[in-house]
Amino acid sequence: MTRPVTVGVDGFRESRAAADWAAKEALLREAPLRVVHADEWPRVPAMPPVDREEHRRSADTVLEDAAGELRRRYPELAVSARRPTGRAAAVLAVEAADSQLLVLGSRGRGALAGFLVGSVGTATVGLTDTPVVLVRPPAESPSGSAQPRPPGDVAVGRDVVVGVDIHETADAVLAFAFDEAARRGCGVRAVHGWSLPFTFGHAPGVDPGVRQEVADGIAGAVVELLRPWRGLYPSVKAEERVLVGAPAEQLLREAADAELVVVGRRIRRAPVSGHLGHVAHAVLHHATAPVAVIAHD
């Protein structure tokens, strides 16, 4: 049986955008779509009391509305719905375990502020090894209404932008990026940001050609990272972007026109949740394109 694409919904605009993105992704993957709403009982003492049955009815409404809208917009897609009870992040992590992909919404705070990734999104990313994509709602028109893509628009040809680190294993991250680009008929742009240590650049007697030598060495390392994936995906145009500057800053700049941004997250086999590095953290909070977080050793 084909594993589903799973999307978490909560009735807000952000989750509607995530659900729409997840439906298109499920069609690309020829996979069913699972819509999940976590029935989490409020644990805030200051909140007024809520009847449990009323709370469940409200949760059912959120789930039925989301699933019904997706079935209407994508009649060719197999859509199922679940309302498990429990803390949202834990529920979503459990649902992700047998999924190809977990899709969540992120709150947008405008083009400059970028994403405000809520506690649920951040916690869920750290609780699952399944790829997680966080989706920002579409930009609004001057009239204030959202401007979504047409239902059939699932491959717009913009690059999949992936952050690479020549000092870490990049296979899982690059595999995901090339696979997504192949589905969309677009290219991969691999971005690596670097800089010489401040003291090195100002030390007396340093050969001016050292910087170029280092740059050439890094560029060669990125080429080698991409070489096997170019062989596996000959139809995908791949480009290296080796840029001087902070990695997060360079990746965000390159991601401004991306179809999808792909970043890695190192798996930590420890009692605490998985590690989200500063580059992935910055991209999650400031990129305007959907961001895929890929767990790797």
Average pLDDT, the chain: 84
Lowest mean pLDDT among 40-49, 70-79, 206-215: 40-49
Q: Judge whether residue 151 has pLDDT over 70.
A: no
In sequence order, the β-bridge partners of residue 296 are 266
Q: With cut-offs at 50, 70 and 90, classify the pLDDT of residue 277.
A: confident
Rounded average pLDDT over 132-153? 60
pTM confidence score:
0.85
pLDDT at 242: 93
The predicted pLDDT at position 168 comes to: 82
Tell me what the mean pLDDT of segment 95-100 comes to.
97
Sign of the four-CA dihedral 43, 116, 148, 18:
negative
Cα–Cα distance for residue pair 183/174, rounded to 1 Å: 14
For residues 129-157, average pLDDT = 62
Beta bridge partners of 7: 35, 103
Q: Give the strand pairing for 260-266 and 291-296.
A: parallel
Place of tokens 């190809």: 100
Domains of the chain: 1-148 (3.40.50.620), 155-297 (3.40.50.12370)
223-251 core/surface letters (b: 16 or more CB in 10 A; e: else)? eebbeebeeebeebebebbbbeeebbebb
pLDDT digits (tens, 9 = 90+) for 196-243: 765 555 555 556 677 788 888 999 999 999 999 999 999 999 999 999
List Cα–Cα distances, 112 to 109, 141, 184, 246, in angstroms.
8, 17, 28, 18
Q: With bands split at pLDDT 50, 70 and 90, how would you rate the model's confidence at 9?
A: very high
